[in-house]
Amino acid sequence: MSQSLVAPTQSIEEVVGKIVNGFQFLDDWTARYEYLIDLGRAMPPFPDDQRIEENRLYGCQAQVWLLSQYHEGRLYFQAASDSAIVSGLLALLLRVYSGRTPQEILDHPPDFIREIELEQHLSLYRANGLAQMMKKIRLIAEQTLIEEEHGAL
């Protein structure tokens, strides 16, 4: 993973609060979609050699890749999509969950998605894709927690 592995300085609650406030500040859904697209564009580049089948997520019309790395008790994620809006959705999830312990990830479901009314403004395919992204992040956290408990890491 090419991005630096730096633990977040803010709690999940603080990050979620900023996301919610940011979305509430925007007047309409056109502005919110533009914001999502900007978030996606600002994501660190995803390594081309990692756009492989084993890193691919399914359940969304867009192509999505997700990498995870466990380092010093924390999970770090890197992701990419060929869709601008889906990239923005990934950016939101990674802001909240990357650099967290597996337990933190499992203790904090993505309730902020409902809070910013995002699901009701996504197409069925994008909403399903978002659910699959979150499911995969949580699955990685669950598997990592089991490996931690059994001393496999």
Q: What is the pLDDT of residues 51-76, one digit of tens each?
A: 999 999 988 789 999 999 999 999 99
Number of domain units in the chain: 1
DSSP 3-state of 126 = helix
Residue 149 pLDDT greater than 70, yes or no: yes
Answer whether residue 5 is part of any domain.
no
Active site residue 125: no
Answer whether residue 144 is part of any domain.
yes
pLDDT computed for residue 4 by the predictor: 65
User: What pTM was estimated for this model as a whole?
Assistant: 0.92
Q: Give me the catalytic one of 36, 60, 64, 75.
A: 60
Q: Give the closest residue to 136 by CA, choosing from 83, 76, 58, 26.
A: 58
Answer whether residue 7 is part of any domain.
no
Answer whether residue 6 is part of any domain.
no
Residue 34 pLDDT greater than 50, yes or no: yes
Answer whether residue 39 is part of any domain.
yes
Q: For the chain, what is the mean pLDDT?
A: 93
Determine the residue type at 42.
Answer: A
The parent domain of residue 35 ranges over: 12-148
Q: Residue 50: pLDDT band by 50, 70, 90 thresholds?
A: very high
pLDDT tens column, 71-121: 999 999 999 999 999 999 999 999 999 999 999 999 999 999 999 999 889
Answer whether residue 92 is part of any domain.
yes
Determine the residue type at 5.
Answer: L
Angle at 89 between CA 85 and CA 93, to 5 degrees: 165
Q: Residue 124: pLDDT band by 50, 70, 90 thresholds?
A: confident
CATH number, residue 134: 3.90.1010.10
Answer whether residue 93 is part of any domain.
yes
Answer whether residue 60 is part of any domain.
yes
